[in-house]
Chain A
Amino acid sequence: MRPATPAFAAGAASAWLKPAVAVLCLCAFALPAAAQADPGRKAKQEEEFPKWTVQGTLFTDLSAVEADKGQRSPDPEEGFIGEYSLGGTYHIDKGMTVVVRACVGCHDFQLQNAFVDWQVNDTWTFRAGRIPVPFGGFSRRTSPAHVESSTKPLPYIMGGMVQEKAFNMGIVPAPFIDNGLAMNGKFWLTKTTELSVELGVVRGLKGFLTDIDFIVTREPRDSNGEPAVAGRVLVTADPVTAGASATWGRYDTDADLEYLMASVELQVRFGAFNLRLEGVLRDTDFFTPTQEIDTSRRTAYVIQVDGPIADGLRGFLLHDAMKVDNIFLGPAGPVNVATPLTTDDSNTITRFAGGVVYSIRPGLTLKGSVEYWDPSDFEKAIVVHVGVVVEY
């Protein structure tokens, strides 16, 4: 005799099955419809499949810190830091690609991307594997070859930040990679305005009782068996791109503590110049010493202008700031109780930076920048970066 299916399991299966069948049916109808909508498609020259394309990026940065040596914390570390990645894309056919990219950076060897993209028509693309989480304006510019500064914007900074241990770095891991599924829809609202919608279900961030742990988060296995959800909406009407995104999940092993991140972004292009604005927030639950759940809040903004400044030379100016509320910052990171070693429960850090980016020859780029850091409860610092990016 077959054991009875528990009602909640049957309900859960049904809840997943119906949307899945609906999506498959839509895809089945969408393919011939898309082909009919483009009568010239068959006339175009056929492409040969499968084929490989390979990309590699090597970034080495040298930094020097000028601060009060007497009170200076060991953060950030001076000297060389590297970020090296190599990847390939296997184009199975016109609509399906496999992307694999591995990197060695500030930490050990990591599988940065390993996913399958299935573009069912000009509108919908499905993605599965180790994927970029659909969140934030910086997500499409995480490569050192894309971003002008040597360090990432404050909400996304993972290394090279003044007092990075005390603050536990920024808000969002960058690159924000996770195991899961995502779908991306692109809709042309007018001839020149595109709406892009991304939805994803991923494993989620991980951590312990007071904050996200970005090192543990990098591990491929899940900690609490609960998925996190993420979504992003973008409207592009050249020269303006505006968007918003959010992600929610639980990060501790018992799935008691929630995090919620949200972002709003705006990019405006003035000729060859870009104005990039982004605001990011994260609410993170933590246990108080009395085992009640409280919430700390991180808010940050980024303002960047970049573009050619003279004879093809690109320059950038960057200002960003972050505020961390309702948690105490200690030498080992945020803690839920004040001690003589901790700050108070409201901290800010502000940065002003400027620099240049120029290409010596195709595939070889030099970056230089100066950053002025002003944390509210720590020593101010000036950090100078010189970096080399090699691309293949």
Chain B
Amino acid sequence: MRRPAWPLALLLIAAGCAAGSVLDRPFGPDGRTIRQDIATYPPEQQAAFALAERRCSACHTLDEPFSAHVKAGAWRAVVRKMSRKPGAAIPPADQERIAAFFEYFFEHRAASGQ
């Protein structure tokens, strides 16, 4: 008799629930989360992160940009491309601030060896 596979799948889902999202998981050698790390940034970068969280998450979670492999200096082009999408509603000034934040974040991350 063939046993149904769904109890195993449910078990896997339950096991996975112990994990968190990228922003709230320990990150790097000091064990801080990305969110805790950003809380130590200059106020304008913290404000830009809040802006990114608001503007970008209409279409996708912030896990995506924080997982992306974008070369230094390319974030303005990436954010501009995303902002062209209908419904993105990111004014040019906000595009600049969001792109500058991600440049800052990945530069900071590379400098700290994470």
B98 to A: closest C-beta gap in Å: 14
CB of A38 within 8 A of chain B?
Answer: yes
Judging by beta carbons under 8 Å apart, are B21 and A314 in contact? yes
Judging by beta carbons under 8 Å apart, are A53 and B19 in contact? no
A135 to B: closest C-beta gap in Å: 11
10 other A-B residue contacts (CB within 8 Å) besides A194-B87, A238-B54, A313-B19: A47-B76, A51-B73, A62-B9, A78-B5, A141-B59, A243-B86, A267-B58, A358-B20, A366-B19, A392-B69
Which residues in chain A, 328-377, are within 8 Å of chain B measured between CB atoms? Answer: 355-356, 358-363, 365-366, 368-370
Judging by beta carbons under 8 Å apart, are B81 and A89 in contact? yes
- Chain B residues whose C-beta falls within 8 Å of the C-beta of A140 in the assembled complex: 59, 85-87
- Could you list 24 examples of A-B contacts with CB < 8 Å? A38-B92, A44-B96, A47-B77, A64-B5, A91-B74, A117-B81, A140-B85, A145-B60, A146-B59, A146-B64, A184-B84, A188-B91, A232-B86, A234-B87, A236-B88, A236-B89, A241-B58, A243-B86, A312-B24, A358-B21, A359-B67, A362-B67, A363-B67, A365-B63
Judging by beta carbons under 8 Å apart, are B84 and A366 in contact? no
B73 to A: closest C-beta gap in Å: 6
CB of A77 within 8 A of chain B?
Answer: no
Judging by beta carbons under 8 Å apart, are B86 and A198 in contact? yes
* Alpha-carbon distance between A125 and B17 when the two chains are bound, in angstroms: 42
Judging by beta carbons under 8 Å apart, are A384 and B10 in contact? yes
- Chain B residues whose C-beta falls within 8 Å of the C-beta of A151 in the assembled complex: none
Given A134-B86, A140-B86, A391-B64, A386 and B58 contact (CB-CB distance below 8 Å): no
- Chain A residues whose C-beta falls within 8 Å of the C-beta of B77 in the assembled complex: 47, 51, 53, 89, 91, 94, 97
- Chain B residues whose C-beta falls within 8 Å of the C-beta of A48 in the assembled complex: 73
Judging by beta carbons under 8 Å apart, are A311 and B84 in contact? no
- Chain B residues whose C-beta falls within 8 Å of the C-beta of A312 in the assembled complex: 20-21, 23-25
- Chain A residues whose C-beta falls within 8 Å of the C-beta of B92 in the assembled complex: 38, 122
* Alpha-carbon distance between A382 and B111 when the two chains are bound, in angstroms: 49
Over the window 54-86 of chain A, the binary record of Cβ atoms lying under 8 Å from chain B Cβ atoms (1 yes, 0 no) is 110000001010100000000000100000000
Given A44-B96, A311-B20, A312-B23, A386 and B13 contact (CB-CB distance below 8 Å): yes
Seen from chain A, the residues whose Cβ lies within 8 Å of a Cβ on chain B are 38, 44, 47-48, 51, 53-55, 62, 64, 66, 78, 89, 91, 94, 97, 117, 119, 122, 125, 134, 140-141, 143, 145-146, 184, 186, 188, 194, 196, 198, 232, 234, 236, 238, 241, 243, 267, 269, 272, 308, 310-314, 355-356, 358-363, 365-366, 368-370, 382, 384-386, 391-392
* Alpha-carbon distance between A272 and B74 when the two chains are bound, in angstroms: 28
Count chain B residues whose beta carbon lies closer than 8 angstroms to a beta carbon of A.
47
* Alpha-carbon distance between A366 and B76 when the two chains are bound, in angstroms: 29
CB of B22 within 8 A of chain A?
Answer: yes
Judging by beta carbons under 8 Å apart, are B23 and A356 in contact? no
B6 to A: closest C-beta gap in Å: 4
- Chain A residues whose C-beta falls within 8 Å of the C-beta of B36 in the assembled complex: none
- Chain B residues whose C-beta falls within 8 Å of the C-beta of A198 in the assembled complex: 86
- Chain B residues whose C-beta falls within 8 Å of the C-beta of A272 in the assembled complex: 57
Judging by beta carbons under 8 Å apart, are A362 and B22 in contact? yes
Q: Which 4 A-B pairs have the closest CB atoms?
A: A368-B13, A312-B24, A312-B20, A64-B5
Contact of B17 among A53, A238, A313 (CB under 8 A): A313
A363 to B: closest C-beta gap in Å: 4
* Alpha-carbon distance between A125 and B96 when the two chains are bound, in angstroms: 19
